[in-house]
Amino acid sequence: MSISLPDTATSDDAGSQVLLVRSLHAGYDKLVVLNGVDLEVSRGEWLALLGPNASGKTTLLHCIAGMLVPSAGSISICGHALRRQALAAKRALGFGCAPESLPDLLTGRQCLEIYAAAKGLAAIGGDVLALAEEFAFSGMLDGFVGSYSLGTKQKLAVLLALLGEPVLVVLDEAFNGLDPASALVLKRHLRSRVSAQRCGVLLATHALDVVERYSDRAALLLNGRIAREWSSEELAALRAVPGEGLEVALAAACAGS
């Protein structure tokens, strides 16, 4: 039988730590997807979450975002227990929703205004509007979401996630559909936020170039658990390997688990 851990964070946990996941179990009806996941992200750190298709990455992110209630375990965001202090935890979180879930009948600007109001902001925020300009998205702000391409919806989902200076940014395959120029803008923007200690980033991705060039750590989710982690030093060593350093290491880790 799974036993839930105390849904509180210690004083040591709550310092620079923006995410603490302990012994997390979750699934759908009788299907077990997560089976004891432990994960941490600190402010000033970009953690890439890797794993094969259907490994549970999205399920884990949905638990962190409060969209799925785990069957056991605990999640704390900036020291706030998600189960008992949901409002405080979610105020610190910026979650990139799935592009297809955006409301077709609203404009991009209306989506941003509604999200801003929900976060208690008086306006959208200059940094988000500046990123929209870098994305070449400003001209689409007053168009209906239903008319957007996948890449344009993806840009809006990222902008929504970054509203209100979140201390934890959680993104799921945020580069899907982005053109190369926009993808580069996003990589640099997230790296800048992280390097300035403005937030910690948890990114679920298959884009190994992002992991190798921009992430600080990487974790492999496999069979419902974190099967392997790569430290910043290990990622740096893999970058130095000619050819397919991380790709080969990831394939080996999957094969050996």
pLDDT of res. 64: 97
The domain locations on the chain are: 1-92+168-174+200-242
Local confidence band at 94 (pLDDT 50, 70, 90 cut-offs)? very high
pLDDT of res. 254: 78
Q: Is the pLDDT of residue 95 over 90?
A: yes
**What pLDDT digit, counting tens, does each position of 163-188 carry?**
999 999 999 999 999 999 999 999 99
Average pLDDT score over the chain: 90
Three-state SS letters, the chain: CCCCCCCCCCCCCCCCEEEEEEEEEEEECCEEEEEEEEEEEECCCEEEEECCCCCCHHHHHHHHCCCCCCCEEEEEECCEECCCCHHHHHHCEEECCCHHHCCCCCEHHHHHHHHHHHCCCCCCCHHHHHHHHHCCCHHHCCCEHHHCCHHHHHHHHHHHHCCCCCCEEEEECCCCCCCHHHHHHHHHHHHHHHHCCCCEEEEECCCHHHHHHHCCEEEEEECCEEEEEECHHHHHHHHCCCCCHHHHHHHHHHHHC
pLDDT of res. 239: 79
Q: What pTM was computed for the model?
A: 0.89
**What pLDDT digit, counting tens, does each position of 51-81 carry?**
999 899 999 999 999 999 999 999 999 999 9
Asked whether 96 and 155 are in contact (CB, 8 A), the reply is: no
Asked whether 227 and 239 are in contact (CB, 8 A), the reply is: no
- CA neighbor of 187 nearest in space, from 152, 218, 212: 212
- The mean pLDDT value for 118-126 works out to 92
pLDDT of res. 188: 96
- The mean pLDDT value for 72-99 works out to 95
**What pLDDT digit, counting tens, does each position of 14-63 carry?**
449 999 999 999 999 889 999 999 999 999 999 999 999 989 999 999 99
User: Which fold, 1-92+168-174+200-242?
Assistant: Rossmann fold (3.40.50)
Tokens of 82: 């998600």
Task: Encode 240-254: b = buried (16+ Cβ within 10 Å), e = exposed.
Answer: eeeeebbeebbeebb
